[in-house]
Structure 1
Amino acid sequence: MRRSRLSVFLAALAVALAGVVAAPGAAGAASLPKHSLIGYLHASFANGSGYVKLADVPAAWDIIDLAFGEPTSPTSGEIQFNRCPASECAGVESDADFIAAIRAKQAQGKKVLISIGGANGQVQLTTTAARDAFVSSVSAIIDKYGLDGLDVDFEGHSLTLDAGDTDFQHPTTPVVVNLISALKSLKSRYGSDFVLTMAPETFLVQTGYQFYGGGSNGGDTRRGAFLPVIDALRDSLTVLHVQDYNSGPIMGLDNQYHTMGGADFPIAMGDMLKAGFPVGDTGKTFAGLRDDQIAVGLPAAVSAGNGFIAPADVQTAVTCLAKNSGCGGYTLRGGAQPALRGLMTWSINWDHYYGWAFQDAHRPFLDALP
């Protein structure tokens, strides 16, 4: 049957609209709140803040990162997740109760991830054998506990760039290439619902605006070393929450140095992730991420890390990033981020220690954002 021009037009419009609706978003993000609260739970150690059972984590938290899976040795690639012993963590629950708590959180729509690395868990995938061991051992942890995905918290010297590795879009350094390959394998294994988050330090990301690796001046080879990982996984990345703490001064897109501890620092650092930036003197540009892939990472309390920001200043920063309003003297180069994913904090345990001050201040604030 021959269709009228109107019916052809309407059919074409329907196809176009369907394409818009079906456009892929961040992996595993479909069931997350538009503005989420993300926190790390000390599951393998106490760290002075006290142990918190997973079942006792309030419903305010949307993504719970179990800290940490750590390697048997820095270059083995074999990751182990050892739950905190009762001698260190009084009241620690059994494995059965822990898994039951994971299921209960998931039934509430929460995402529970294994976080790999941390300050003491240096992971250097120097060989393909280490890469394969990483994939196998991380998969075993995810399968054992029925987790929703993986958080990559590689810090310190886990990632460096070899001399001559100057193109973040085509890295050649084994520890970088093997990590990218491992994460792609895990994504392929678990599919579109797999939640992949990353928590690099500013030194490994935003410092790349000034310097990439050792550069011509023979500087620190870790500078910007996380950029090729973010770029290669950008289509699979659910949330990037750079640690806007424990950081030295970082040059922003205004070519001014920004220091942690106030609203200015997360504003400048968050803008770089949205706007993108030229990478050192490489002639390459790191493309900005989508709003929904960006969250602001902060300490929950003064004892949790250097660079604690008072709640009012946190909310000033988030308001600036989300609405391009109240930014002080800073001008957003990437524009407003209305779908900004939210806030990450180290840690849920420290927030509990301080009477849930971070949660109680910021959960209602995030819920009130449009």
Structure 2
Amino acid sequence: MRRAWSILTAAALATAGFLAAGPPAAAADADLVRNGGFEAGLTGWSCSAGSGAVVTTPVHGGTSALKATPAGQDNGRCSQAVTVKPDSTYTLTAWVQGAYVYLGATGTGTTDVSTWAQTPGAWKQLTTSFRTGAATTSVTVYTNGWYGQPAHLTDDVSLVGPDPGGSVQLPAAPTGLTAATPTSTSVPLSWQPGAGATGYRVYRGDTLVASVTGTSTTVTGLTPATTYGFQVSATNAAGESPRSAVVTATTGPTDPGGPGDGGGQLPPHALVGYLHSSFANGSGYLRMADVPASWDVINLAFGEPTSVTSGDIRFQLCPVSECPGVETPAEFKAAIKAKQAAGKKVLISIGGQNGQVQLATTAARDTFVSSVSKIIDEYGLNGLDIDFEGHSLSLATGDTDFRAPTTPVIVNLISAVKTLKAKYGAGFVLTMAPETFFVQLGYQYYGSGPWGGQDPRAGAYLPVIHALRDDLTLIHVQDYNSGSIMGLDNQYHSMGGADFHIAMTDMLLTGFPVAGNTSRVFPPLRPEQVAIGLPATTNAGNGHTAPAEVNKALDCLTKKQNCGTYQTHGTWPALRGLMTWSINWDRFGGWEFSRNFDGYFGG
């Protein structure tokens, strides 16, 4: 909160190839495309912006075909890297259905090629040929549609030419896939190894959800009381095996006392706000007793550290000299109890713009736990809001996989929160308010190393969210004080309009490959865990969104209505609600934000 980030972003466009002709393949040549008939789903293929899916009708051959749907500035391209011999001639063919369907190859080392179907209707065969360069050992074959066109179909793709051979063969498919006892949001899986495998990919339906080297994993982020189908494939340097047989598992029911719903007492659609309890600014001081009933979760801003690295967190009411009319501690505690009696949750929020916290040591971690516990106990609070910003994660630069963090500031924060959760039990409410820089920007940049000048902390909240997803009540990313961010449509979206909130929220509810790496897919969060964070007024932060645009975003996400240029990957009527910075600023603005929320959800 109260911090502005300037994020520089850039995008590049790829160039198209040219058609070339060549002689037909010899009879002894091999077909080098893996899973060209899509009988093994999308195994071996990578589709841009999640545009590809396998269908069972219509098909050209076998029982499956590829259906890819262009959206926005994405042309629905699906591609595969194929090992080839240098200085050799290859013929690429595919059967397609739809107008403006392209077939081509890049990285040939000579002249890249493409051809296309110009009319819709029945299946048509596309054919093109090329010769590899003297040092070319791999080419990429692809099929795509065109911008603004309907979905297109592709089937029976082949690349016929000299077999490059090699000693590494595709691994055998894993066997014996079993599911252990599920929780309400996770399923443990294990399987027997596939001969020749060096790694494994786990699929939920056609969605890749994990890449591991061992023969077990736990799939998390699932919806309670829901049946899922899982498969696993084996990988090595030669590629990916067919998938195993499907195993199904049904998650358990929602624990009515569990943290996923704040102890079972949050309303279906909740309004979250921050109350300036420890400081004053231009919005003016507001007593706890005077917070309107619209607010379901009230975050006390802020608990702040005695030093950046100590882990020692303190909270005190704003002094009278700064906040005339401030209540006494006894009055404040009594007002909290009254709110809780009315079904509201009151949390201590740690951090904010000025509250930099770095838990770089286990001693700092333990001090954090004890000092936060003291605040919760003294004021009788329901839980904790993590609002780490800026330099709180400045040391989080060594992780390259959000699923296995190693940097101390991340590992110790996760451990501290889990300790607090274990201490207070199922009713403990845990919320987070990261900035888009630390979450959605992970779609483009993540981990340490040179990212074209980007701050290597981009996406640094992802391991925290992932590790705590089963304990997390709400996440409300700050959709403000941000630069433009790329959505799953590979387009940049700017603050202040419905599309920005739709795109940012869709990423959380759909999941996304981290830094473009499809082996590191951040799994989706449950819709009841997600609220949209906005500034209450133009004074409260950059990116204020007019009520009409807020309602458009809610319409699109919960009803698939009033969507703009961004098309969501689902519809989520259980989306929890809205968060705002802040309750004080909303009062300053005549309660416009909360009145609009109440009007939309009938509160």
Under a length normalisation based on structure 2, what TM-score does the superposition of the two structures give?
Answer: 0.57
Q: Does 1:124 align with 2:358?
A: yes
Q: What CA distance in whole angstroms lies between the structure 1 residues aligned with 2:535 and 2:353?
A: 14
The aligned counterpart of 1:245 is: 480
User: Is contact 1:161-1:225 (8 Å) kept?
Assistant: no
Residue identity matched to 1:331: Q
Q: What CA distance in whole angstroms lies between the structure 1 residues aligned with 2:286 and 2:265?
A: 25
The aligned counterpart of 1:7 is: none
The alignment covers a number of residue pairs equal to 352
The aligned counterpart of 1:328 is: 564
User: Is contact 2:259-2:426 (8 Å) kept?
Assistant: no
DSSP-derived class of the 1:37 partner: strand
Residue identity matched to 2:454: G
Q: What CA distance in whole angstroms lies between the structure 2 residues aligned with 1:290 and 1:130?
A: 32
Q: Does 1:315 align with 2:315?
A: no
User: Is contact 2:481-2:542 (8 Å) kept?
Assistant: yes
Q: What CA distance in whole angstroms lies between the structure 2 residues aligned with 1:365 and 1:276?
A: 27
Q: How does 1:114-193 map to 2 (within 5 A)?
A: 114-160=348-394, 162-193=396-427
Check 1:74–1:164 CA distance in 2 against 1; reply closer, same or farther (3 A cut): closer
For residues 300-353 of structure 1, the C-alpha deviation after alignment (integer angstroms, 9 at most, x for no partner) is: 0010000000001001101111112111121112x0111101000000000111
User: Is contact 2:399-2:448 (8 Å) kept?
Assistant: no
The aligned counterpart of 2:139 is: none
Q: Does 1:223 align with 2:458?
A: yes
Q: Does 1:69 align with 2:303?
A: yes
For residues 103-157 of structure 1, the C-alpha deviation after alignment (integer angstroms, 9 at most, x for no partner) is: 0000000000000000110111010000000000000000000000000000011
The aligned counterpart of 1:26 is: 260
Q: What CA distance in whole angstroms lies between the structure 2 residues aligned with 1:257 and 1:274?
A: 18
Check 1:224–1:58 CA distance in 2 against 1; reply closer, same or farther (3 A cut): same
Residue identity matched to 2:563: C
Q: What CA distance in whole angstroms lies between the structure 2 residues aligned with 1:268 and 1:243?
A: 13
The aligned counterpart of 1:204 is: 438
Q: Does 1:110 align with 2:325?
A: no
Q: What CA distance in whole angstroms lies between the structure 2 residues aligned with 1:31 and 1:224?
A: 31
1:39 to 270, 273, 294: 273
More contact order relative to length (CA 8 Å, sep ≥ 6): 1
Max Rg structure: 2
DSSP-derived class of the 2:346 partner: strand
Q: Does 1:344 align with 2:563?
A: no
Query: How far did 1:161 drift?
Result: 5.5
Q: What CA distance in whole angstroms lies between the structure 2 residues aligned with 1:119 and 1:163?
A: 20
User: Is contact 1:323-1:338 (8 Å) kept?
Assistant: yes
Q: CA RMSD in A?
A: 1.8
Q: What CA distance in whole angstroms lies between the structure 2 residues aligned with 1:50 and 1:162?
A: 35
Query: How far did 1:82 drift?
Result: 1.8
Q: What CA distance in whole angstroms lies between the structure 1 residues aligned with 2:416 and 2:468?
A: 11
DSSP-derived class of the 2:260 partner: coil
Q: Does 1:301 align with 2:301?
A: no
Residue identity matched to 2:491: Q
Q: What CA distance in whole angstroms lies between the structure 1 residues aligned with 2:473 and 2:279?
A: 26
The aligned counterpart of 1:289 is: 525
Check 1:281–1:268 CA distance in 2 against 1; reply closer, same or farther (3 A cut): closer
2:471 to 227, 236, 248: 236
Check 1:65–1:21 CA distance in 2 against 1; reply closer, same or farther (3 A cut): closer
User: Is contact 1:161-1:214 (8 Å) kept?
Assistant: no
Q: Which has the higher strand share?
A: 2
For residues 263-308 of structure 1, the C-alpha deviation after alignment (integer angstroms, 9 at most, x for no partner) is: 1110000000000100015531100100000000000001000000
2:318 to 77, 81, 84: 84
Query: How far did 1:27 drift?
Result: 4.8
User: Is contact 1:68-1:114 (8 Å) kept?
Assistant: yes
Check 1:161–1:347 CA distance in 2 against 1; reply closer, same or farther (3 A cut): same
Query: How far did 1:214 drift?
Result: 3.3
Residue identity matched to 1:73: S
Check 1:164–1:134 CA distance in 2 against 1; reply closer, same or farther (3 A cut): closer
Q: Which has the higher helix share?
A: 1
For residues 91-113 of structure 1, the C-alpha deviation after alignment (integer angstroms, 9 at most, x for no partner) is: 00000000000000000000000
Query: How far did 1:222 drift?
Result: 1.4
User: Is contact 2:514-2:520 (8 Å) kept?
Assistant: yes
Check 1:350–1:63 CA distance in 2 against 1; reply closer, same or farther (3 A cut): same
User: Is contact 2:475-2:531 (8 Å) kept?
Assistant: yes
User: Is contact 1:27-1:192 (8 Å) kept?
Assistant: no
Q: What CA distance in whole angstroms lies between the structure 2 residues aligned with 1:240 and 1:292?
A: 10
Check 1:79–1:206 CA distance in 2 against 1; reply closer, same or farther (3 A cut): same
User: Is contact 1:241-1:297 (8 Å) kept?
Assistant: yes
Check 1:22–1:237 CA distance in 2 against 1; reply closer, same or farther (3 A cut): closer
User: Is contact 1:40-1:67 (8 Å) kept?
Assistant: yes
Residue identity matched to 1:253: L
DSSP-derived class of the 1:26 partner: helix
Residue identity matched to 1:332: T
Q: Structure 1 vs Structure 2: percent identity of aligned residues?
A: 66
Check 1:167–1:365 CA distance in 2 against 1; reply closer, same or farther (3 A cut): same
**Greater Cα shift, 233-242 or 323-332:** 323-332
Under a length normalisation based on structure 1, what TM-score does the superposition of the two structures give?
Answer: 0.92
Check 1:161–1:71 CA distance in 2 against 1; reply closer, same or farther (3 A cut): closer
